[in-house]
Amino acid sequence: MHVKDSSSTARTSIDQLRIADQILRHEAAGLLALADRLGEEFCQAVDLIFSCPGDVIVCGIGKAGHVGQKLSATFASTGTPSQFLHPGEAMHGDLGRVRQNDLVVMLSNSGESEEIVRLLPILKNFALPIIAVTSCPASTLGRAATVTVDMGVSEEACSLGLAPSTSTTVMLAIGDAIALVVSQMRCFRDEDFAKFHPGGSLGRKLAKVEDVMRPIDDCCVAQDGLSVREIYVRASRPQRRTGAILLTDERGQLSGIFTDSDLARLFENKQEAAIDAPIREVMTESPISISTGTRLSAAVDILAERKISELPIVNNQGRPVGLIDITDVIQILPREKVEQVKNSSKTAPTTETLSLPKRRRA
């Protein structure tokens, strides 16, 4: 049986990390050199895109094509309409995507990629501005472009000096810089960003609380003058369970909250009389709440920082309109916040150690 030499494995790991460190530092150096190199041509490219009345058509082949697809997506998601055009497919009908008011961004490290060069005279016939991003301004692409952004010549991080690595990192960084500068010039706000990112955890963070909350019809709401027993009897209808009752005063404004934990404390301390007393005597007065129109991310922060499980949503009159339960948003809590919530629940009092609740402010 072969026994792996642990010292050999350790040496291998050290070598791998050393090589990785060299690669990362090599690519980082390429980015620093780029920052020192950008000048008037970069600003001209930004101005052209900012004033473009149509779409920004991004074009590239091979690894530059992959960078181009990402750049086009970045443009589109930050306020600049954009499409990716594959130079090969362009020759077979996809040129139909290009319109009179569009602008073309062409990516090519060498500036001599066959598919790119073949496309240039056709785009010239469209009379569209062309922005070239290349390490060879004197190349065919560089000479044909309206504006050429010089990437500089980057030695690839690949041990053979061949695989696109540093060059694509620099190309991607230039694209991001152009797209994000234009986005700032458009005064693109988080509200605008939210329109283009309705899905996934990012979309949920950017959503408003009313988009995610459990509506008031699905919550248990009662007047704070009723007894605990009366409220729980009336709340026995089927509904999505939240573990909290929202209490309102005579004006219908949120005055308190009463949770399952509060009920458990009453039973543990044998406070049977409190069950038939007005719930306002044992509820949490003036609980933490959040207004409609607030970002869900703010609600998530409150749930995590204050280690609470239910957060009432109120309108501008202070009346409850819904509730966010932590189980609704646990998947978008930062990892460290999830651990906080888990740890707080592990250390929360059990029904054997609960004490009588007092009227309190959350």
**pLDDT tens digits for range 50-90:** 999 999 999 999 999 999 999 999 999 999 999 999 999 99
d(CA 33, CA 326): 47
pLDDT at residue 186 tops 90: yes
The residue range of the domain holding 151 is 16-188
Residues 6+ apart with CB under 8 A from 99: 54, 55
Q: Are residues 239 and 350 in the same domain?
A: yes
Number of domain units in the chain: 2
Q: What share of the chain is helix, strand, coil (3-state, %, to 5)?
A: 50, 15, 35
**Which of 329 and 101 is assigned the larger pLDDT?**
101
- 112 φ, ψ to 5°? -125, 15
Q: Are residues 158 and 70 in the same domain?
A: yes
3-state secondary structure 157-201: CCCCCCCCCHHHHHHHHHHHHHHHHHHHHCCCCHHHHHHHCCCHH
Residue 2 placed within a domain: no
| Confidence band for 357, pLDDT divided at 50, 70 and 90 | very low
**Which of 189 and 239 is assigned the larger pLDDT?**
189
Residue 195 placed within a domain: no
3-state secondary structure 86-104: CHHHHCCCHHHHCCCCCEE
Mean pLDDT confidence for 330-354: 50
Q: Are residues 183 and 329 in the same domain?
A: no
Residue 193 placed within a domain: no
Residue ending a domain, choose from 188, 218, 242: 188
Q: Are residues 135 and 242 in the same domain?
A: no
pLDDT at residue 361 tops 50: no
Predicted pLDDT at 266: 85
**Kind plus residue range of the DSSP H or E element containing 330:** none
Predicted pLDDT at 341: 52
Residue 261 placed within a domain: yes
Predicted pLDDT at 3: 56
- Strand, helix or coil for residue 133: strand
What CATH number should be reported for the domain holding residue 103? 3.40.50.10490
| Confidence band for 155, pLDDT divided at 50, 70 and 90 | confident
What CATH number should be reported for the domain holding residue 265? 3.10.580.10
Q: Are residues 78 and 167 in the same domain?
A: yes
Q: Are residues 168 and 211 in the same domain?
A: no
**66-75, 211-220, 350-359 — which is least confidently predicted?**
350-359
Residue 337 placed within a domain: yes
- 10 φ, ψ to 5°? -65, -40
Predicted pLDDT at 339: 57
Residue 3 placed within a domain: no
| Confidence band for 157, pLDDT divided at 50, 70 and 90 | confident
Q: Are residues 306 and 157 in the same domain?
A: no
Residue 303 placed within a domain: yes
Q: Is the pTM of this model over 0.85?
A: no
| Confidence band for 260, pLDDT divided at 50, 70 and 90 | confident
Predicted pLDDT at 323: 93
Residue 198 placed within a domain: no
**Which of 66 and 10 is assigned the larger pLDDT?**
66
HSE (side-chain half, CA atoms, 13 Å) at 348:
16
Predicted pLDDT at 349: 40
| Confidence band for 237, pLDDT divided at 50, 70 and 90 | low
